[in-house]
Amino acid sequence: MTGILAFIVVFGLLVTVHEFGHMFFAKRAGIMCPEFAIGMGPKIFSYKYNDTQYTVRLLPIGGYVRMASKDMEVNPLNAGMRINIKLNDNDEITHILLDDKHNFQHVEEIEVVESDIAEAMYIKGLKLNDNSEVTYHFSSECYFVENSELERIAPLSGRFETKSVWARFITLFAGPLFNFLLAFVLFTILFYIQGKPVDEPIVGTVVEDTPAADIDLEAGDRIQSIDGTSVDSWAHMTQLIQEGEGSPQELVIESGGDTHTETLVPAVETTELPDGTEQKRLIIGVGRDFENGIIAPVWWGIQETVSSMSLIFELVVNMIGTIFAGTFSFDMLNGPVGIYKVTESVASQGILVLMNFTALLSVNLGIMNLLPIPALDGGRILFVLYEGIFRRPLNRKVELNIQLIGVLFVLVIMVLVTWNDIKTFFL
């Protein structure tokens, strides 16, 4: 149950922050957002506020912000259809009533001859009272009304494609950007709570009934050397312990200004991985020292975020390299099932470990979404940059076909990764 709750919180937080980034800058640019969705598939919850339907959907495989565009406008008006319309003082349509479940007064009934809600924004029809032909254009705030529910028709000025290249670029980039900002916030909070790990080989804590406790190591002691090799960092100390393969090791320790030598035998710690296998490593039973501060954690949070971005970008590039080298394996990727199993394992180690994992996952989500794949933010950004460079948009039919290929590619990868996760964890 803890694993399920942790997964829902982590998934919900990452997707909500990512999609909120898109929606925040879209609305700042004047782009209408008819829907803000967490998850995919059937709706399990919805709430409408300020012309945006906020929905939670069944499948935890992402989310989206549906932005108004010409391609998104579905015209429910067919020739011969009888409707009621509400006009303003300028004879512009404010409401198109698709059924009789409404309380509007002073409406005009017409039979539709033709209509365009994508570009020209008008309805041509025949008045039923005198059979005269009329043409009415939409007001800037025009709604379809059906089953007493209002759905606003996006005006041309509220559509994605009518905005500047810069407005569209920042709207698309904002999702990954907000993921990086979330990582920074989480890292900063972590540093405020527990401090920043000191890189030097200085003992911060000693665990009882471990090899370190047996030789009376204390907090503040510095490990100068192991088996004659000078230790220059905590990572170096860990490496030398692992390289000792469990044999007795001689440590030179500086304690309270004095130096002495002790011999210990590392213990073996066994950890069960999410896939059910066991991982063994050597430990001596010490924890790192931490430094604290008031302003410093903010700077440390920036450093850790940039460092994580660099590391994950390098891992992604290396993974792409394995595709061309013929050494790629789906074991390198985790789908929703794999992420759930890892989250479950991490959650069992405490809230701080889960926060650190969430920050890293947020950076990973931001990097992956910037890949130049048409179905992702990175691919859509490429289309916008193309228009900015060549001063004209890519042929719309070509762009839609490329995006379709991108969507199919992502869906195939998602299915294969999920199946691989199921085989790894359950079969």
Q: Which two tokens stand for residue 37?
A: 């969705």
Task: Give the active site residue among 19, 108, 304, 399.
Answer: 19
Beta pairing class for 82-87 and 93-97: antiparallel
Tokens at residue 230, please? 């000078």
Phi-psi region of 8 (alpha: psi -120 to 50; beta: other; left: phi over 0): alpha
DSSP string, 160-225: GGGS-HHHHHHHHHHHHHHHHHHHHHHHHHHHHHH-EEPSSSBEEEE-TTSHHHHTT--TT-EEEE
Rounded Cα distance, 382 and 23, in Å: 19
Nearest to 210 by CA among 280, 287, 279: 287
Give the CA radius of gyration of the chain: 30
Q: Cα separations (Å) of 402 from 384, 395, 398?
A: 14, 11, 6
- Rounded distance, CA 126 to CA 85, Å? 12
Number of helices (H) and strands (E) in the chain: give both, helices first.
9, 18
Amino acid at 355: M
Active site residue 19: yes
Name 315's Cβ contacts closer than 8 Å, sequence gap at least 6: none
Do the beta carbons of residue 127 and residue 134 sit within 8 Å?
A: yes
Cβ atoms of 367 and 309 closer than 8 Å: yes
Point out the residues that are catalytic. 19
